[in-house]
C-alpha cells in the first residue's frame, strides 16, 4: 500500500511538472503577441490629427545664390519653421500635456477633398510662389530691372473619378495639351474648350524632371457655383508657375530651400536677397530670425505657428525676431502674430527682441538704425 501511494504521488508530480511548462510557454507567447499589438497600435496606427511643434531656425545665405554678389554678411538671417507630425497614440498623449505643442484635426488643415500628398504639394507650390514674390520685392527695393517668364502649370490636386487622377500626380508640370503649349492655366482651358466628355487629348508633362506623355479621355467636371452646364476636363486643379528673371544675368537669383514648404519665409528671403544685391551689410553682425509672407510690393502678411517659431529662433541664439504686425480684418477677424510672439517670448524668458513688421521697408529701416555689433 505504501508503494502504491508513493507511485501515485510520483506520477502526479511528473504530470504537474510537465503541464505548467507548456502552459507557461503559451502564456509567454500570448503576452508577447499582445505586447507587440499594443506597441503597434501606440506607435504605428495614425490618428486623424496633426501635431505642431517648434521646428528649426535655418541660415538662409546657403540657400540663396546670386551670380555677382556685392558684399559680405557678418551676421546671419534665418528663416524659421514649424514641425508637423502625424499623430499616433504616444505623441498624441504627449501633445495633450506638452506646453509647446498643438494638436489639430487634419480636417481643419486639409482642404475639402485634399489628400495629405496634395497638401504637401500645395505647401511646396506656395513656397515656390513665395520665393518668386521675395525675389520681386528684393529686386524692386534694390532697383534691379527684371521681367517675369511663365514656366508651365503644376498639378496641385486631381478630381476623383476622372482621367487626370489615374495618370497625373500632384507636382507634375504640364507642358502641352494637344498641340498647344501650356505656359499658364488658361492655356490648358483653351486647349480643352469646345471638346466634350468622351473626347481625348494628349498631355505632355514632366515628373521629377523626366518628360512624359499620356492620352487622357475627357470627363464631365463637377458643376461649380453658378454653372448650369457641365464642362469637360481632365480633372486637375492647375496652378501657374513663373520665374523672375533679372535683365542682367549677373544679378540673377537662385533659391534652393530643400524640403521646406509654405509661404512664411518670404520676408526673410527678400532680406537675404537684398543683402546680397547691395554693397552694405544690413545684418551688421546680428543674428536675425523672422517670419512672414511677402507680396511683390513688399507687404508682409500673417502666418501660422509663430509661437513655435519663437522657440526655434531662441534655440539658435537669435538676437532679433521679425514678426508680422497684428491685423484686424473687416469682418472683425484678428490675427495677432506680433502679440502672440511677444507672449511666447515672455513665457520662455528669451532675451531676443521681437520687432513688429508690416513691410519689407519696415525691416530695412529698423536694421539701418541698428548700431554695428
Q: What is the pLDDT of residues 282-331, one digit of tens each?
A: 999 999 999 999 999 999 999 999 999 999 999 999 999 999 999 999 89
Residue 1 banded pLDDT, cuts 50, 70, 90: very low
Mean pLDDT score, 90-96: 93
Measuring CA to CA, how many Å separate 344 from each of 57, 83, 311? 16, 17, 8
What is the band of 3 on the pLDDT scale with cuts at 50, 70, 90?
A: very low
d(CA 66, CA 53): 33
* Ramachandran assignment for 235, one of left (phi > 0), alpha (psi -120 to 50 degrees), beta (any other): left
User: Does the structure show a pLDDT above 60 at 233?
Assistant: yes
Please give the Cα distance from 82 to 309 (Å, whole number).
6
- Mean pLDDT, the chain, whole residue set: 91
As a whole number of angstroms, the distance between CA 256 and CA 246 comes to 17
Which residues partner with 334 through β-bridges?
328
Q: Can you say whether residue 129 is alpha, beta or left, with left for phi > 0 and alpha for psi between -120 and 50 degrees? A: alpha
The predicted structure's pLDDT at residue 15:
47
pLDDT of residue 322: 98
pLDDT average, residue stretch 76-99: 95
Lowest-confidence pick of 71-75, 312-316, 360-364:
71-75
- From edge to edge, which strands make up the β-sheet containing 76-86? 102-105, 49-59, 76-86, 287-290, 320-324, 353-357
CA distance to 2, 5, 192, 349, per residue, from 8 (Å) = 10, 5, 93, 78
Residues contacting residue 357 through CB under 8 Å, at least 6 positions apart: 267, 290, 292, 300, 322, 323, 324, 325, 363, 366
| pLDDT (average), residues 140-151 | 95
Residue 227 has pLDDT above 80, yes or no: no
Quote the CA–CA distance of 259 and 20 in Å, as a whole number. 57
- When pLDDT is cut at 50, 70 and 90, the band that residue 255 belongs to is very high
Cell reading at 323: 514678426
Torsion, Cα 83 89 93 96, to 10 degrees, reads 60
Quickly count: other Cβ atoms within 10 Å of residue 367's Cβ.
22
- Give catalytic residue positions: 264, 309
Model pLDDT for residues 115-130, shown as the tens digit of each residue: 898 899 899 999 999 9
Average pLDDT over every residue of 231-236: 92
User: Model confidence over 333-355: pLDDT tens digits?
Assistant: 999 999 999 999 999 999 999 99
DSSP H helix total and E strand total for the chain:
10, 20
Percent of the chain at pLDDT > 90 equals 76
Does pLDDT of 156 surpass 80? yes
How far from each other are the two terminal CA atoms of the chain, in whole angstroms?
104
How far apart are the C-alpha atoms of 327 and 333, rounded to whole Å?
8
Amino acid at each position: 500500500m505504501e508503494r502504491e501511494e508513493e507511485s501515485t504521488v510520483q506520477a502526479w508530480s511528473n504530470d504537474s511538472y510537465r503541464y505548467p511548462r507548456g502552459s507557461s510557454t503559451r502564456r509567454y507567447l500570448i503576452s508577447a503577441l499582445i505586447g507587440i499589438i499594443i506597441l503597434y497600435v501606440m506607435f504605428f496606427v495614425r490618428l486623424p490629427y496633426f501635431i505642431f511643434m517648434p521646428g528649426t531656425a535655418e541660415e538662409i545665405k546657403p540657400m540663396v545664390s546670386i551670380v555677382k554678389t556685392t558684399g559680405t554678411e557678418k551676421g546671419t538671417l534665418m528663416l524659421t519653421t514649424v514641425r508637423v507630425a502625424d499623430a499616433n497614440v504616444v505623441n498624441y498623449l504627449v501633445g495633450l500635456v506638452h506646453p509647446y505643442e498643438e494638436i489639430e484635426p487634419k480636417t481643419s488643415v486639409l482642404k475639402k477633398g485634399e489628400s495629405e500628398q496634395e497638401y504637401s504639394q500645395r505647401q511646396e507650390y506656395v513656397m515656390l510662389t513665395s520665393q518668386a514674390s521675395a525675389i520681386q520685392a528684393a529686386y524692386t527695393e534694390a532697383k534691379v530691372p527684371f521681367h517675369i517668364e511663365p514656366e508651365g502649370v503644376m498639378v496641385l490636386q486631381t478630381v476623383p473619378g476622372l482621367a487626370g487622377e489615374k495618370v497625373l500626380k500632384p507636382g507634375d508640370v504640364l507642358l502641352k495639351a494637344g498641340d498647344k503649349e501650356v505656359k499658364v492655366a488658361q492655356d490648358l482651358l483653351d486647349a480643352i474648350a469646345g471638346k466634350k466628355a468622351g473626347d481625348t487629348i494628349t498631355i505632355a508633362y514632366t515628373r521629377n524632371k523626366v518628360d512624359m506623355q499620356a492620352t487622357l479621355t475627357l470627363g464631365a467636371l463637377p458643376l461649380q457655383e453658378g454653372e448650369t452646364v457641365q464642362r469637360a476636363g481632365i480633372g486637375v486643379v492647375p496652378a501657374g508657375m513663373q520665374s523672375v528673371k533679372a535683365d542682367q544675368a549677373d544679378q540673377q537669383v537662385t533659391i534652393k530651400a530643400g524640403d521646406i514648404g509654405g509661404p512664411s519665409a518670404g520676408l526673410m528671403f527678400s532680406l537675404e536677397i537684398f543683402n546680397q544685391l547691395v554693397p552694405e551689410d544690413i545684418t551688421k553682425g546680428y543674428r536675425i530670425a523672422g517670419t512672414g509672407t511677402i507680396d511683390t510690393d513688399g507687404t508682409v502678411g500673417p502666418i501660422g505657428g509663430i509661437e513655435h517659431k519663437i522657440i526655434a529662433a531662441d534655440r539658435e541664439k537669435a538676437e532679433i525676431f521679425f514678426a508680422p504686425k497684428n491685423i484686424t480684418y473687416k469682418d472683425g477677424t484678428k490675427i495677432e502674430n506680433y502679440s502672440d510672439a511677444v507672449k511666447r517670448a515672455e513665457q520662455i524668458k528669451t532675451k531676443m527682441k521681437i520687432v513688429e513688421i508690416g513691410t519689407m521697408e519696415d525691416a530695412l529701416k529698423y536694421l539701418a538704425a541698428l548700431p554695428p555689433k
